[in-house]
Every structure is written in structure tokens, then in C-alpha cells.
A = this chain, B = another copy of it.
Amino acid sequence: MKSARFITRNSGVAIWRQIADQIRGDITAGKMPSGARLPPEVTLAERFAVNRHTIRSAIAALTKEGVLRAEQGRGTFVANSKKLTYRIGERTRFSEILATQVRETRGILLGHRIEDAAGEVAAALGMAGGQVIRIDSMHTADGNPVSCATAWFDAARVPNVVEDYRVSGSITAALKAAGIDDYLRKSTIIAARHADAEDLRHLRLSPGAIVLVSTAINVDMDGHPIEYARSRFAADRMEIAIDGKSMV
């Protein structure tokens, strides 16, 4: 029924974390559907050959993550862990996409700076020199961090984008303030990698977690690139769907 369970002692990785990762893996792999009951703590303790308290540490971590839900006297259950779906199409707006799936989304400015346009950023924005504004931000859905993003804009085109974004928490609103009433998604590239240290902090992940990386170019209605952005989504909490006219 369950795959062989081994843990490595004295590896620098706590046993409770190894167990938590295995259980989370089983759940996200679909071995345990939403609502399914976990074996009781004593059974798990025997199966992993550890103390019951160690199992409880693992369960506590997953409960805090929202993956499990423990009910005294009844058992421990797989929480409603439906992933959010980030559907990418020609008109892709963070808050609109999630509006039907969560109660509230928020964009938080983490930092910004001016950089010289160079390399892939310059290429994506169609710039030959000049300066770009870089904005680092993160997004929450119902209070849970779901993504963090780095976006680059042509500094000449949208000089006040930082302040506008800080106030509104929305790229769409910040661009509108710069006279760009509408924009379209021109291209999206999706990759996956281990979360780096910064992702871990902002998305509240544990080391070894996986992030989906979406690299996108948005253009104005004349087709001129206005934003180049790289977003990292916690792969545990989010999946990405590509709409129609397959855009890559």
C-alpha cells in the first residue's frame, strides 16, 4: 500500500522533516486524496520505526502548512489541498486570475532599484542601452504567499512605476497611471527548479522545495514590450495552465 519508508539519521535533516516531506509527497503525488484519513500516529510511528512524538512533529509541521488537519478522537485527515490554478492567456492579470478562486489577493513591494539595461532584460524589452527599473514583489492569496516576482520596466517609459505599484499593489494599476491602459501577454516560458534561499523566505517553503518559474513578456496594444517579469510559484500550492492559441 505505502512505499517503503526509510529515514536517514544524523544526516543534518531532522527525522520529523524527512517524514513530513514523505507524507506531503504522497499527498501531492495523489496517493492520498483530499479528505482521506492518515493511519493513526502509533501505526505511523511503528512504520517509520520512530517515537510517536516524532510523528507528531511531522504532522504538526504539515498542519501548520495547511496540508493536514487533525481531529481529536477521529484521526488526521488530508486537508482540502486543491492547488490554485494560474491560467495564462493573452490577458493575464494576477488578481483577476485568482479572483474566482480565493477571497483576497495582495501584492507586496519587496524592493526596487535602477539597473542598466543589458542581456536578456534589454533584449526582452527591446532596448539598446538606457536604464530599467527592477521591482521585486510577492503576492498572497487569502494571506498565504503564493508567488514572488521580479519585473523589469523601461525607466523612460514608466518612471513612477515603483511608487504607483507601492500604493496600489497592482501592476495593472501602476501601468494605467503611466498612461498604459491595457497590455497583452506576448510570451511565457515555464521551468521548474529548486527554490533558492530567497524563495524559501518569501514563500515560506522548506529547503528542497520546488518552484515553478514563469518568464513572461507583456506588450502594449502597439506590440511594444513594456514589462519583462520572472515569477516563482510554490509548486505545492499552484499549478500553471496555458490557454488556447498555445503561446510559448
User: With A12-B20, A13-B13, A13-B14 in contact, do A4 and B198 touch (Cβ < 8 Å)?
Assistant: yes
Contact A206 B6, beta carbon cutoff 8 Å = no
Query: Smallest CB-CB separation from A13: which chain B residue?
Result: B207
Interface size on A, residues (CB 8 A): 26
User: With A207-B208, A208-B207 in contact, do A11 and B17 touch (Cβ < 8 Å)?
Assistant: yes
User: With A207-B18, A207-B208, A208-B207 in contact, do A201 and B12 touch (Cβ < 8 Å)?
Assistant: no
Interface string of A15-56 (1 = CB under 8 A from B): 011101110000000000000000000000000000000000
Contact A61 B12, beta carbon cutoff 8 Å = yes
Contact B13 A12, beta carbon cutoff 8 Å = yes
Contact B197 A4, beta carbon cutoff 8 Å = yes
Copies in the complex: 2
Residues in B whose Cβ lies below 8 Å from that of A18: 207
User: With A197-B6, A198-B4, A200-B6 in contact, do A14 and B16 touch (Cβ < 8 Å)?
Assistant: no
Residues in B whose Cβ lies below 8 Å from that of A246: none
Is A5 part of the binding interface, using a Cβ–Cβ cutoff of 8 Å?
A: yes
Is A238 part of the binding interface, using a Cβ–Cβ cutoff of 8 Å?
A: no
Residues in B whose Cβ lies below 8 Å from that of A3: 196
Is A219 part of the binding interface, using a Cβ–Cβ cutoff of 8 Å?
A: no
User: With A207-B208, A208-B207 in contact, do A12 and B8 touch (Cβ < 8 Å)?
Assistant: no
Scan residues 55-102 of chain A and give those whose CB is less than 8 A from a CB of chain B.
61
Query: Smallest CB-CB separation from A5: which chain B residue?
Result: B197
**Residue of A3, A7, A12 most packed against chain B (CB within 10 A):** A12
Query: Smallest CB-CB separation from A19: which chain B residue?
Result: B12
